[in-house]
């Protein structure tokens, strides 16, 4: 204690000097903002994370709060001395700076003289009375001399003068109480824990603590120290009043509402049960921060629906949280949720708005905005772009859509080059799927990218034939990587197909070709994926022929069409019906090309078919003829109709297409000349004549369904045409009449359904004939003679078999492919079908839908039986998904005869087991009838828990030197033996004289998941009762397990009780005391049907004499077993 006094005296001397310096300095310093002003006006400075441990260390020096503690234990005082030593260095440094201020201070006498002149002489006459009294805590310095010190406030009753302020001039004092009278404010002061007395407050210079930082917070805490004062405002700040001691709330749970850091300490405002109590030093509190169970990045929109929640800098009640506002600020506004954190208290969401961080709030206050199915447009594209916006989210799917999750941030790719692979448009934005270094990153708002389109350097209209010879290229709507491009498909869709190039575009990246197939524009692809097939010039002649342009459909080129470097200039319709001069002709495999001029100006090269020679007697020749069937509409007027193909020998003008414009006609025949393709047309069976085919719009039948099949058939009608392709479809040509094959057997290879008819492709003796209407055939499907469901493994070993959707050549069978596609692959055979033609196997390969093929193409892989065991135990089918076989599954000769679901939860007997590499197979029977083999996983043996009552140091009833525990065990062992002989699994609670608790018996049975529980007991009562009674649970107890009062369990327990009781009575002839209900532990706390047997009264002399005999015990055991068997049956 002596050390403490020395240290306190040293510190007080230092404090006196420092306080005087501070008093003088304050006269020239700006006024500090008072605590009440800050708190009332909610002035909150910039917040920063606080280290409460360091604050606590700083605030545990000798303060006026510790000096004025009313009761401080010896150990606390020692601790404070040790802690106060931490500030010695700081105090010495402060004294040095304080000395400098003292040198500049005006004379103290001048200050005191001024104070004396204003002091009123003291009259201890009791003329004044106290009107207000407060306990406070302030530091102050005595600055006035010759003023009285009183035992009570001056002028009040009992006030006595005890000294003068001169004695304490310039010393640091602590004001612990203030009282207001009509004459002024009086302060009770002390020095070093020693009470001095009461002085007029204007004799003191009060040193208020300054507020450095304030935070609105939310924490749970417990008050762990009782020595602290509780204030109306933070201690030592202006306006503080001491309310009570923290001991009042010692060990109570509180909620922290605010923290304020002053130059002295950190103070917390706390409440209990929603009532604000006051402020105390934070070192007296143990803060209970919430922790997180789950943290995840998210991204979705939400609406703030509740305005009552606080918004924090961190999730509420976690370390470092600070309240920034109320959710009402954003009520009914849409915000974005970017993160979720789950604590024991709540799920907290981090909300932002328009890219600005708001803070954390309780998720209960927001409602998720549903953005399901908002993608309104999708397109595959190819662009290069640079990530131009920093700190934007990247999603797993287009932002705000159903499956969208935040997976990355653009800051990781800022200013990096990316490729856009796909675009999706929502109501909110256009989203781009980006990749970097060929690695897909995710979806970003396209507005966050700067797109760099390729520039087009040159464009040419051309005509080339080409072959698509690379399948790896994308096909676009515009040249790749140019603005507006969209990926349509892959070039593999057209691999090895013949195409026509119609435009060439060169960009900084590549040369792109626009191509068509069968006259339909497909799109643009890189020209390196095409093998261009230029036409070659066979011959060339200089001529000078006058001609007329008579067809406007031809292209005019810089050089002959389809030759290398040709470029399209215009269409021949520009010069339709105008005279031109042919100066040169060039012949290619495709056509004869004419170089035409007009008035000495070269026009270009065009197909000579579009010209009529005016200065020569040239006749066109028919080069090819074909009989066809097509519908068409006459779509051009003012075109001539001829009696034969135009410009051929004998052709005469017989009409004009204007007479038949837009009418439907039938094309019966086509003929090719060097000029055009001519079509012979008719209307309603009446021949009209020959027209240029270009004047017609053909109406081909559309193919709706195509099937590869295999059927036998006989041609039964001779009136049908046979075509090269299905009749009336594009490219059809009549090649024969069905009468050529009348009554002959054919094989149907394919069927095609069009809007007009169903067509069959037929072959005879392995040679394809053509297509005819299926109504002219008599189909002869193979018949199914036998079907077996099986399970075998097999390998496809032959490549020449057809693969079908159903057994080959049967009705509705469709030919899918060749067995070559499955060669050497392993599959599971699930059906075998025998027809008059072959045996067919249904096989599933790689888990895909099953196919059918000839069994000759398969090699079976039967499972081998490795062991066989004869068994005889009772069981129950517990899984309904298994097949039941004639032999163990997957072995040779197995046939599926049923499903285990037909026997689900039914009692069966397992009479044999066989082991294969795949499984253990059980041969099951029911009621003596063999059912078949199934996987043993689907059965569970019937298990019975036998409980011989009592045991060990719990003998049960005792009578005539006979102990119940002994009889219970003897009968139970006999029951066990008989049950095992009948194939039941038996678990015994005890097999010897040992103690087993009631709860252990019930819990073991529950854990073993047995089927029934049977407890064996004997009775005793007044020596006169006799007979047998059987108990099941009455449902009136207070069970610990949820199955105890299950209605099904209660019912089946009653059924079991009736079955056993009936058989015991019939086997023993004992007096029937009926089935009963009771609240015994073992039949209450078990989860399965449970009974307790009372097999007789031991204290009845006559009954005891029977109970101890082996013969009677055998009868009891036999009755119990027969009752159990009947129950399971």
Longest dimension (CA), the chain: 156
906: Cβ–Cβ under 8 A, 6 or more apart, which residues?
Answer: 876, 877, 926
How many Cβ atoms sit within 10 Å of the Cβ of residue 38?
21
530: Cβ–Cβ under 8 A, 6 or more apart, which residues?
Answer: 466, 467, 468, 469, 470, 499, 501, 513, 515
- Whole-angstrom distance, CA of residue 381 vs CA of residue 850: 38
Buried b (16+ CB within 10 A) or exposed e, 50-73: bebeebbebbbbbbbbbbbbeeee
Q: Which of 238, 340, 1094, 1122 is catalytic?
A: 1094
> CA 279: distance to chain centroid?
48
Q: State the first-to-last Cα distance of the chain, in angstroms, to the nearest integer.
A: 91
Backbone CA torsion sign across 72, 75, 76, 82 = positive
Exposed / middle / buried, residue 415 (Cβ in 10 Å: 0-12, 13-18, 19+): exposed
Structure tokens at 1006: 């529950």
- Under 8 Å between Cβ of 845 and 793: no
- Whole-angstrom distance, CA of residue 672 vs CA of residue 792: 60
134-to-178, 180, 242 alpha-carbon distances in Å? 5, 9, 7
- Whole-angstrom distance, CA of residue 717 vs CA of residue 491: 45
- Whole-angstrom distance, CA of residue 579 vs CA of residue 597: 9
925-to-484, 915, 933, 941 alpha-carbon distances in Å? 72, 18, 9, 13
Q: Which residue has the tokens 């327990």?
A: 1053
- Under 8 Å between Cβ of 1120 and 1091: no
**Closest C-alpha among 173, 118, 185, 125 to residue 146:** 118
Q: What is the DSSP string of 711-725?
A: EEEEE--S--EEESS
Specify the 3-state DSSP secondary structure of 922.
strand
Q: What is the DSSP string of 508-568?
A: SS-EEEEEEETTEEEEEEEGGGEEEE---EEEEEEEEEEEEE--S--EEESSSTTSTT--E
Specify the 3-state DSSP secondary structure of 690.
strand
- Under 8 Å between Cβ of 237 and 302: no
- Whole-angstrom distance, CA of residue 815 vs CA of residue 851: 10
Is 653 catalytic? The answer is no
Specify the 3-state DSSP secondary structure of 727.
coil
**For the chain, the helix, strand and coil percentages under 3-state DSSP, each to the nearest 5:** 20, 45, 35
- Whole-angstrom distance, CA of residue 85 vs CA of residue 90: 10
C-alpha count within 13 angstroms, C-beta hemisphere, residue 197: 20
- Under 8 Å between Cβ of 190 and 174: yes
Q: Which H/E stretch holds residue 114? A: helix 108-118
How many Cβ atoms sit within 10 Å of the Cβ of residue 1041?
14
- Whole-angstrom distance, CA of residue 695 vs CA of residue 697: 7
- Whole-angstrom distance, CA of residue 173 vs CA of residue 838: 117
- Whole-angstrom distance, CA of residue 395 vs CA of residue 426: 14
Residues designated catalytic: 1094
């Amino acid at each position: 204690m002596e050390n403490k006094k020395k240290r306190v005296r040293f510190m007080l001397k230092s404090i006196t000097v420092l306080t005087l310096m501070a008093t003088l300095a304050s006269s020239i310093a700006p006024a500090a903002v008072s605590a009440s002003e800050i708190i009332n006006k909610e002035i909150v400075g910039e917040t920063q994370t606080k280290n409460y441990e360091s604050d606590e260390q700083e605030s545990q020096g000798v303060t006026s709060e510790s000096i004025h503690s009313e009761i401080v234990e010896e150990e606390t005082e020692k601790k404070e001395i040790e802690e106060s030593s931490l500030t010695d260095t700081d105090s010495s440094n402060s004294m040095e700076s304080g000395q400098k201020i003292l040198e500049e201070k005006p004379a103290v006498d001048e200050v005191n003289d001024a104070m004396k002149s204003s002091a009123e002489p003291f009259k201890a006459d009791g003329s004044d009375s106290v009107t207000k009294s407060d306990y406070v805590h302030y530091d102050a310095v005595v600055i006035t001399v010759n003023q009285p010190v009183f035992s009570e406030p001056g002028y009040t009753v009992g006030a006595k003068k005890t000294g003068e302020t001169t004695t304490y001039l310039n010393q640091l004092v602590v004001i612990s109480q203030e009282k207001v009278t009509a004459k002024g404010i009086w302060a009770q002061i002390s020095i070093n824990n020693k009470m001095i007395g009461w002085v007029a407050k204007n004799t003191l210079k009060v040193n208020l603590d300054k507020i450095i930082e304030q935070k609105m917070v939310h924490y749970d805490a417990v008050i762990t120290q009782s020595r602290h004062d509780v204030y109306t405002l933070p201690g030592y700040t202006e306006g503080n009043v001491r309310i009570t001691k923290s001991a009042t709330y010692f060990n109570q749970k509180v909620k922290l509402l605010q923290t304020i850091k002053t130059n002295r300490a950190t103070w917390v405002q706390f409440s209990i049960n929603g009532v604000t109590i006051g402020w105390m030093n934070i070192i007296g509190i143990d803060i209970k921060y919430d922790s997180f169970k789950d943290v995840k990045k998210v991204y979705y929109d939400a609406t703030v629906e509740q305005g009552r929640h606080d918004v924090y800098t961190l999730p509420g009640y976690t370390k470092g949280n600070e309240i920034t506002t109320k959710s009402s600020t954003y009520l009914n506004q849409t915000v974005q949720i970017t993160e979720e954190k789950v604590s024991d208290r709540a799920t907290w969401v981090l909300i932002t708005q328009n890219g600005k961080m708001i803070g954390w709030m309780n998720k209960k206050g927001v409602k998720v905005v549903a953005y399901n199915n908002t993608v309104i447009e999708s397109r595959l594209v190819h662009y290069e772009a640079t990530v131009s916006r920093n700190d934007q989210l990247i999603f797993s799917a287009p932002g705000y859509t159903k499956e969208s999750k935040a997976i990355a941030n653009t800051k990781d790719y800022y200013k990096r080059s990316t490729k856009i692979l796909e675009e999706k448009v929502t109501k909110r934005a256009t989203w781009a799927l980006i990749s970097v270094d060929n690695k897909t990153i995710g979806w970003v708002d396209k507005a966050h990218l700067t797109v760099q389109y390729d520039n087009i350097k040159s464009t040419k209209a051309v005509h080339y034939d080409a072959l698509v010879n690379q399948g790896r290229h994308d096909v676009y709507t515009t040249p790749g990587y140019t603005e507006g491009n969209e990926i349509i498909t892959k070039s593999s869709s057209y691999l090895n197909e013949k195409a026509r190039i119609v435009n060439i575009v060169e960009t900084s990246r590549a040369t792109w070709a626009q191509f068509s197939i069968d006259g339909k524009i497909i799109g643009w692809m890189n020209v390196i994926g095409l093998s261009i097939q230029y036409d070659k010039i066979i011959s060339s002649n200089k001529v000078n022929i006058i001609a007329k342009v008579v067809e406007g459909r031809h292209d005019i080129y810089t050089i002959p069409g389809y030759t290398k470097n040709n470029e399209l200039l215009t269409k021949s319709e520009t010069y339709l019906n105008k005279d031109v001069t042919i100066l040169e002709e060039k012949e290619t495999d495709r056509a004869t090309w004419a170089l035409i001029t007009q008035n000495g100006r070269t026009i270009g090269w065009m197909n000579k078919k579009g010209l009529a020679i005016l200065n020569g007697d040239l006749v066109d020749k028919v080069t090819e003829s074909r009989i066809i069937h097509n519908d068409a509409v006459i779509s051009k007027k003012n075109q001539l109709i001829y009696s034969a193909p135009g410009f051929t020998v004998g052709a005469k003008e017989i009409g004009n297409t204007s007479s038949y414009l837009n009418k439907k006609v039938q094309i019966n025949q086509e003929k090719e000349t060097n000029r055009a393709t001519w079509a012979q047309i008719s209307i309603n069976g009446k021949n009209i004549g020959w027209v240029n085919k270009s004047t017609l719009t053909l109406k081909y039948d559309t193919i709706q369904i195509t099937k590869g099949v295999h059927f036998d058939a006989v041609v039964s009608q001779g009136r049908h045409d046979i075509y090269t392709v299905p009749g009336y479809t594009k490219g059809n040509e009549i090649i024969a009449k069905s009468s050529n094959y009348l009554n002959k057997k054919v094989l149907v290879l394919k069927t095609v359904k069009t809007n007009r008819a169903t067509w069959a492709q037929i072959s005879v003796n392995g040679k394809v004939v053509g297509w005819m209407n299926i109504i002219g055939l008599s189909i002869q499907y193979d018949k199914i003679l036998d079907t077996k469901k099986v399970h075998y493994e097999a390998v496809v070993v032959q490549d020449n078999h057809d693969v079908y959707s159903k057994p080959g050549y049967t009705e509705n069978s469709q030919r899918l492919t060749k067995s070559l596609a499955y060669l050497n692959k392993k599959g599971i055979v699930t059906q075998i079908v025998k027809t008059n033609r072959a045996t067919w196997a249904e096989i599933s390969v790689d888990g895909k839908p099953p196919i059918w093929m000839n069994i000759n193409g398969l090699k079976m892989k039967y499972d081998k039986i490795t062991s066989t065991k004869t068994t005889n135990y009772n069981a129950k089918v517990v899984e309904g998904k298994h097949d039941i076989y004639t032999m163990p599954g997957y072995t040779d000769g197995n046939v599926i005869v049923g499903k285990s679901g037909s026997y689900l939860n039914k009692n069966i007997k397992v009479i044999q087991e066989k082991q294969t590499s795949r499984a253990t197979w059980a041969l099951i029977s029911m009621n003596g009838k063999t059912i078949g083999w199934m996987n043993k996983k689907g059965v569970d043996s019937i298990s019975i828990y036998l409980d011989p009552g009592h045991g060990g140091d719990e003998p049960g009833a005792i009578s005539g030197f006979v102990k119940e525990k002994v009889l219970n065990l003897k009968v139970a062992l006999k029951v066990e033996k008989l049950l095992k002989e009948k194939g039941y699994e038996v678990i015994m609670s005890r097999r010897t004289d040992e103690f087993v608790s009631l709860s252990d018996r019930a819990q073991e049975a529950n854990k073993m998941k047995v089927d029934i529980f049977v407890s064996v007991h004997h009775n005793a009562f007044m020596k006169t009762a006799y007979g047998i009674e059987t108990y099941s649970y009455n449902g009136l107890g207070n069970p610990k397990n949820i199955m105890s009062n299950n209605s099904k369990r209660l019912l089946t327990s009653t059924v079991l009780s009736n079955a056993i009781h009936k058989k015991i009575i019939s086997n023993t002839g004992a007096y029937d005391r009926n089935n009963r209900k009771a609240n015994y532990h073992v039949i209450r706390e078990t989860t399965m049907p449970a009974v307790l047997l009372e097999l007789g009264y031991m204290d009845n002399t006559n009954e005891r004499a029977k109970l101890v005999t082996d013969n009677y015990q055998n009868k009891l055991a036999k009755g119990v077993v027969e009752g159990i068997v009947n129950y399971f049956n």
